[in-house]
Amino acid sequence: MTRLVVIGGSDAGISAGLRARELDPTARPLLVVADAYPNFSICGIPYHVSGDVPDWRSLAHRTRTDLEDAGLDLRLDTRALSIDPRRQVVTVRDATGTHEVGYHKLVVGTGAVPVRPPITGLDDLGPADGVHLLHTMDDTFDLTASLGRAPKSAVVVGAGYIGLEMTEALHARGLRVTVVERLPQVLPTVDPELGALVADELRAHDVDVRTGTTVQRITKTDDGLLVTGNQDLDLRTDLVLVVVGVRPDTALAETAGVALGVRGAIAVDRHMRTSVDNVYAAGDCVHTHHRVLGTDTYLPLGTTAHKQGRIAGENALGGDREFAGSLGTQVLKVFDLVIARTGLREHEAGGFSPATVATVADDHKRYYPGAHGIHIRVTGDTGTGRFLGAQLVGHLDSAVHKRVDTFATALHHGMTVPDLEDLDLSYTPPLGSPFDAVQTAAQAWAREHGWCRSHRVDADIPPQAALSQ
């Protein structure tokens, strides 16, 4: 029997263990988990903080009993310290001391850790002072304890996905919230035109938005906290939350001598193999094959971690499955807006001749009450018509999340922008149109760049020449 050891109890690690167990019911994968919360939804933390999910235990995808009944052997509150690939052992530390665990195959799923920006005072202040980072369940408990002291205001440093979700969560708890972002726009993962819509939504809910502003110092005072920085930033507040992104946690893997790749993440091939024999890795600690670019990138996403974990678990037991690649498909709710993207933005499309066309298309027939316009930006290759990516912003009721999934499916299968018009999508006036908003946006791109519905791409024929054939 293969002795499979998995380091990490989040998306990638749990998926690896469960997949191995599916394939070999006699296997009992050992999962080494640094805390006491295996298989908890980190993505769900903002909704516990907001009060939408009152019981933190509900964030568990599966309980400990569920996981053990599924055939996993859990060692909780156990930290992996080092890997010796020659002897095939992992040194771990738990409450009883330091031990060695042998393996035949090893999966590293250590995830990512929060980035700590160079803010004076950040290393000296902590949860007891009202200064928080957010990544684990213990971080969550620290934050909810601070909220239990009834703060009146908060500063959120970072206007990415987590920063904006937490801004809404703290607003829901009755705090006056200021969000500070060093870049020129909130949500820098979408184009500025869409970021401006998100900023408007925040301000409509009385959130103070400061962009192009860098927090330089956090100081504890007699009456709370003082946050200062450039652009005359001078804010007195009760609570500070720093969420400026994550970096891959590779410290353990590096003890085995694994090669690192993009942005310092663990380098893996598409079978999730590292450079060290019998050691696989998956999730937010590894770099990711991008399906459109055909190269590796770093995209720490829960959906990707789940898929990679299953592949690592399968291949560790002798399988030969290959990761299909990621498109970076993401979706975010900010108050009454939903923001989504998949694939490439124009400046990310190296190797192509990209162009982006913006459209506003109704989510359903205008004559039926409650119609909302969806702002859609489609990016395609002007030389081949190949669809490269899309970004969407629309009302919470506009099924933006499902429309980005349509775009993602088209990307996965290498469709052209004109191909989108031919999709047989559903229609009823309360929910859509004969040509869905996805197709309306594709038509706008095709019209602007001289492509027609009947044309099928031939990369060797210039578009105008092809249209005349």
Q: Do residues 310 and 361 share a domain? A: no
Calpha distance 160→210 (Å, rounded)? 13
Domain end call among 244, 271, 297 = 244
> 362 with 382: CB under 8 angstroms?
no
Q: Do residues 212 and 275 share a domain? A: no
C-alpha 142: how far from chain center: 23
Amino acid at 66: D
For residue 96 the two structure tokens come to: 């009883």
> 288 with 248: CB under 8 angstroms?
no
Structural domain contains residue 152: yes
* Secondary structure class of 47 (helix, strand, coil): helix
Q: Do residues 335 and 450 share a domain? A: yes
Q: How confident is the model at residue 453 (pLDDT cuts 50, 70, 90)?
A: low
pLDDT at residue number 455: 56
Q: Do residues 239 and 252 share a domain? A: no
Q: Is the confidence at residue 27, as pLDDT, over 60? A: yes
Are β-strands 224-229 and 112-114 bridged in parallel, bridged antiparallel, or unpaired?
unpaired
Between 464 and 244, the higher pLDDT residue: 244
pLDDT at residue number 2: 82
Q: Do residues 240 and 167 share a domain? A: yes
Q: Is the confidence at residue 421, as pLDDT, over 90? A: yes
Q: Is the confidence at residue 464, as pLDDT, over 90? A: no
Q: Is the confidence at residue 461, as pLDDT, over 60? A: no
Structural domain contains residue 386: yes
206, 239, 202, 201: which is closest to 220 by C-alpha? 239
Q: What angle do CA 446, 452, 455 make, to 5 degrees?
A: 120
Domain membership of residue 450 as a residue range: 330-467
288, 267, 290: which is closest to 279 by C-alpha? 267
pLDDT in tens, 280-303: 999 999 999 999 999 999 999 999
Structural domain contains residue 122: no
pLDDT in tens, 242-267: 999 999 999 999 999 999 999 999 99
Residues 6+ apart with CB under 8 A from 99: 91, 92, 93
* Secondary structure class of 15 (helix, strand, coil): helix
457, 456, 433, 453: which is closest to 445 by C-alpha? 453
> 164 with 46: CB under 8 angstroms?
no
Q: Do residues 131 and 90 share a domain? A: no
Q: What angle do CA 429, 431, 433 make, to 5 degrees?
A: 55
Backbone torsion region of residue 67, taken as left when φ is above 0, otherwise alpha when ψ lies between -120 and 50, otherwise beta:
alpha
Calpha distance 71→28 (Å, rounded)? 6
* Secondary structure class of 112 (helix, strand, coil): strand
For residue 291 the two structure tokens come to: 């399906």
* % of the chain with per-residue pLDDT over 70: 96
Q: Do residues 355 and 297 share a domain? A: no
pLDDT at residue number 450: 84
Q: Do residues 210 and 107 share a domain? A: no
Sign of CA dihedral 34, 35, 36, 41: negative
Structural domain contains residue 107: yes
Give the DSSP per-residue string, 168-220: HHHHHTT-EEEEE-SSSSSSTTS-HHHHHHHHHHHHHTT-EEE-S--EEEEEE
Structural domain contains residue 359: yes
pLDDT in tens, 311-333: 999 999 999 999 999 999 999 99
Rounded to two decimals, the pTM is 0.93
Q: Is the confidence at residue 198, as pLDDT, over 90? A: yes
Give 237's DSSP letter. Answer: E
Q: Any idea what the CATH number is for the domain that residue 292 is in?
A: 3.50.50.60
Structural domain contains residue 252: yes
Q: Is the confidence at residue 456, as pLDDT, over 70? A: no
Calpha distance 405→400 (Å, rounded)? 9
Q: Do residues 258 and 298 share a domain? A: yes
pLDDT in tens, 336-391: 999 999 999 999 999 999 999 999 999 999 999 999 999 999 999 999 999 999 99
Amino acid at 370: G
Q: Do residues 38 and 84 share a domain? A: yes
How confident is the prediction for the chain on average, in pLDDT? Answer: 95
Q: Is the confidence at residue 469, as pLDDT, over 80? A: no
pLDDT at residue number 458: 47
Q: Is the confidence at residue 1, as pLDDT, over 80? A: no
How many domains does the structure of the chain reveal? 3
Domain end call among 288, 316, 344 = 316
Q: Is the confidence at residue 459, as pLDDT, over 50? A: no
> 186 with 202: CB under 8 angstroms?
yes
Q: Do residues 357 and 228 share a domain? A: no
Q: What average pLDDT does range 69-73 have in this prediction?
A: 95
